[in-house]
Amino acid sequence: MNVQRRNLMRHAATALLWATLGSAGTTMAQSTLLVGAPLPLTGPLSPEGIKLQRGYDLWADEANKAGGVSVGKSKMPVKIVYYDYQSNTPRAVQLAEKLVTDDKVNFMFSPFGSGATKAASAVSEKYGVPTLAPTASSIEVFDRGYKNLFGTFTANDSLSEPMAEMIKTTAPSVKRVAILARNDLYPLALGQEFEKSLKKRGLDVVYFDKYPIGTLDHASAITQIRIARPDWVVVTGYINDLILVRKQLGDQKVKPTVLTMINGPVYQEFVDAVGPLANNVTTATWWHPAARYTSGDVFKSSENYTRLYKAKYNEEPDFTHATGSAVGVLLQMAIERAGSIDRDKVRAALAAGKFATFFGPLSFGPEGIANSYTPPIIQLQNGKSVVLYPPEIRNAELKLGLD
Amino acid sequence: MLYLQILINGVLLGGLYSCIAVGFSLVWGVLNIINLLHGSLMILGAYAAFFAHAAWGIHPFLFAPVAGLLLFLVGLALQAGIVNRVMGAPVLITLTLTFGLNLMLDNAMIVAFKADYRKVILDPPLGLLELGNLLVPLDRLYVMALALLLVAGLYAVLRFTSVGRAIVAVRMDRDAAALMGVEVKRIYALTFAAGAFMAGAAGSLMSVIFPISPLTSNAFLGKAFVICVLGGLGSTPGVMIGGILLGVLESFGTLWLGPDFSTTIAFVLLLALLVFRPSGLMGRKGFE
């Protein structure tokens, strides 16, 4: 009796397992929306790659909780197919091709940063796969007449213009400006945009120089900046550069009226690593948890996005996490509008723009770069980041001077 | 004033560079192993100092010998367990081995500590020494002084202790040293561990100056490499002079050619040395 029952149970369990596997297999083949995402999950860019992955996952979780993405009358669950390109751009391009040809993904998210996005976008253009770029802001990525690339960041000059305007009007004593830029696609392009925006407003650029990737010491450049007596110092670079420059500005008592370090203050690790020296440092950024957009996406609003992110990961989201989730909701809204996962229809829906997202209103210029929102300017005041601009979400006034 | 300040910047930076390079030079000179792990061992020392400071408030300067000892043990284990198997093998084999170990250690540190950049923040900060218009950041000055002390200590050990003489003897002629009763394998292990000690202590000192992350280890390794060639392999005074020379040249390179070309002058000099004096400024085989 016992033996018979055990056998029966075993057969039933096996049948159930096969049924489950079978149905899962069918679902995978027929009704799962596949999105390809090559990311730098190891190597020097891994902190950024992991941030994007968290952003993507949060979107996919929320979309799947609601049953998936609505395609016409049915719902399709989302599956993101990840590959680690080890911070190696040529590998990102190979993996993008593999995602399209082997994994047969429906749509793609770009790899990290302007350089890798530009390189991999040739693959999606070749196969006609609509691709959303979460972290490309250099115009050089978008000016090749591609039809399949859409980026959530506004162009670099959208950071320098409002910043220059704000400082010019709120701190009229600022006349002399020094710019120190990392010699790398995005930071250098940004430094050059700042130079243009400042000169346009009659400010005097008394120092402009670029430092190479991997610089371990900025003392001599800072000695020259000190001698140039700037009222405003603008530094562009990545987090390790900015930590080192901030420390060495302190070492040489360089205390300008305004200190801008793009995008240092956005990151908690910058605040932790420079300590009290972080106070009053400003930056422009594309998104901030203080943003107050209401949206038609799965997150409903910026506030709710921040709440959900904190609940899942137990940390405050920054603009990289948010842009990762933003490409997700953008894709979802475009598919839902198109009522289909047909690539031509989704591409047309993306190009039509006017998406109300938690990241801000998203529409794209003819070249595919977002042109529909004003990136916020923030400042660290007493260990907290406050928003100075745009006026709709401002919650503090610019503080001049450094401690 | 400008030139004097640039000179001060350069000498202080050079002091840090020497401290980074001295252990690397020792291992290369004695074991003939280009230890690509060196930068990562330094970062491991810096993490030890960071966590000791965060958890117990121990000053990284006081912690430097402890970090050194921890890394000494790590070095001993690595040498005895792994590196000893390739001693005397062609340079490509040892290079590949330490390259692989370096990748493993870097990625293990990324998993364990995350890739976030961290820094020890001293409260209160050490401040500045102001000599008229000239500014000397005291943290760099102290780190340089302590680094000199460490290097002098290593020099004294090599010069005046029997283990030190054995290390030098093995470096000069391994077979002759073995015939004189020196246990060559033991000396190899001790030398590798001493190199790791210097890396750990240097890492602890640097944790107040540079951002710490497993991603920065190769930048330190690159500097160590250049300094060794400049100063001469295995020569402790040569490393001091090579380090300070590199620091000063980079500082003036920044002033004259801009930061983007700061290393150009240093590398031109390096090429010139390789052509005209390939043993480096102080390199004399087998002499310590």
Evaluate if residue A302 carries a pLDDT over 90: yes
Considering the domain architecture, whether residues A365 and A297 belong to the same structural domain is answered as: yes
Does the residue B198 lie in any domain? yes
A355 inside domain? yes
Reported confidence tier of residue A78, pLDDT bands at 50, 70, 90: very high
Whether residues A184 and A146 share a domain: the answer is no
ipTM at complex level: 0.88
Pairwise CB contact (< 8 Å): A223 & B5 = yes
For B7, which residue in chain A has the nearest alpha carbon? A220
- Note the pLDDT tens digit of each residue in B13-43: 999 899 889 889 888 888 888 899 999 999 9
Total domains in chain B come to: 1
Average pLDDT, rounded, for chain A = 90
> What six digits make up the tokens of A15?
């049948």
Give me the pLDDT at residue A19, please: 44
Using CB atoms, pick whichever of A211, A223, A275 lies closest to residue B2: A223
Least confident of A114-123, A293-302, B235-244: B235-244
Residues A268 and A309 in one domain: no
- The confidence score (pLDDT) of residue A70 equals 95
pLDDT score at A11: 52
Are A83 and A141 part of one and the same domain? yes
pLDDT on residue B287: 41
Of A42, A217, A227, the CB nearest to B2: A227
> What does the pLDDT average to over B105-134?
87
Q: Which residues in chain B (132-171) have CB-CB distances under 8 A to chain A?
A: 135, 137, 140
| Total-model pTM | 0.83
- What is the domain count for chain A? 2
A333 and A256: one domain? Answer: no
Same domain, residue pair A242 and A96: no
Is residue A2 very low, low, confident or very high in pLDDT (cuts 50, 70, 90)?
low
Q: How confident is the model at residue A28 (pLDDT cuts 50, 70, 90)?
A: very low
pLDDT cut 70: percent of chain A above it: 93
Mean pLDDT comparison of A23-37, A199-213, B74-88, highest-scoring range: A199-213
Q: How confident is the model at residue A24 (pLDDT cuts 50, 70, 90)?
A: very low
Does residue A245 sit in the same domain as residue A387?
Answer: yes
Q: Average pLDDT in the B220-224 region? A: 88
- Could you tell me the residue range of the domain that residue B152 belongs to? 2-116+146-276
pLDDT of residue A139: 86
> Are residue A388 and residue A268 in the same domain, yes or no?
yes
> In the prediction, which pLDDT does A22 show?
41
| CATH number of the domain bearing residue A323 | 3.40.50.2300
Say if A37 falls within a structural domain: yes
A88 lies in the same domain as A198: no
User: Does residue A159 register a pLDDT over 70?
Assistant: yes
Rounded mean pLDDT, A138-165: 92
Which residues from A are below 8 Å from B223, CB to CB?
216
Q: Which of residues 106-135 of B touch A (CB under 8 A)?
A: 107, 110, 114-119, 121, 123, 125, 128, 135
Count contacts between A and B (CB, < 8 Å).
100
B189-201 b/e (C-beta count within 10 Å ≥ 16 → b) = bbbbbbbbbbbbb
**Shared-domain flag, residues A244 and A329:** no
Q: What is the rounded average pLDDT for all residues in chain B?
A: 88
pLDDT of residue A39: 96
Q: Establish if B187 belongs to a structural domain.
A: yes
Looking at residues B83-108, what average pLDDT do you find? 89
Closest CA relative to residue B101, chosen from B33, B47, B188, B30: B33
Q: Is the peptide bond before A263 cis (omega within 30 degrees of 0)?
A: yes
- Residue A319, domain member (yes or no): yes
* Nearest-by-Cβ selection for B117 from A216, A221, A273: A273
How large is the angle between the packed helices A319-338 and A46-65, nearest 10 degrees?
A: 40
In chain A, what residues touch B128 (CB-CB under 8 Å)? 251, 253
pLDDT surpasses 70 at B255: yes
Q: Which amino acid is at B83?
A: V
In a domain, B288, yes or no: no
pLDDT digits (tens, 9 = 90+) for B148-197: 898 888 889 988 999 999 988 888 888 898 898 888 888 889 999 999 99
- Which residues of A are less than 8 Å from B119 in CB distance? 243, 247, 273-274
Whether B150 is covered by a domain: the verdict is yes
Q: Does the structure show a pLDDT above 50 at A18?
A: no
Per-residue pLDDT reduced to its tens digit, A324-371: 999 999 999 999 999 999 999 999 999 999 999 999 999 999 999 999
Inside any domain, residue A303: yes
Pair A389, A283: CB distance under 8 Å: no
Residue A222 lies in a domain: yes
Least confident interval from A172-181, A202-211, B61-70, B145-154: B145-154
Q: Do A204 and A150 belong together in one domain?
A: no
Chain A residues with CB-CB distance to B under 8 A?
Answer: 42, 44, 46-47, 180, 183, 209-212, 214-221, 223-224, 227, 239-240, 243-244, 247, 250-253, 269, 272-276
Contact criterion met (CB below 8 Å) for A70 and A113: no
Please indicate, yes or no, if residue A121 is contained in any of the structural domains: yes
Residue A305 sits in the same domain as residue A357: yes
Please state whether beta strands A232-236 and A176-182 pair in parallel, antiparallel, or not at all (unpaired).
parallel
Contact A269 B116 (CB under 8 A): yes
> Would A320 be classed as within a structural domain?
yes
**pLDDT bucket at A86, cuts 50 / 70 / 90:** confident
Does residue A168 lie in a domain region?
Answer: no
Beta bridge partners of A281: A259
In percent, how much of chain B has pLDDT > 70? Answer: 98
pLDDT greater than 50 at residue A393: yes
Partner A, chain B 234-263, Cβ-Cβ below 8 Å:
247, 250-252, 254-255, 258-260, 262-263
Host domain of residue A309: 32-156+290-370
Query: Residue B259 — pLDDT band, cuts 50, 70, 90?
Result: confident
Least confident of A31-40, A43-52, A344-353, B195-204: A43-52
B8, part of any domain: yes
CA A62 from centroid of its chain's CA atoms:
19
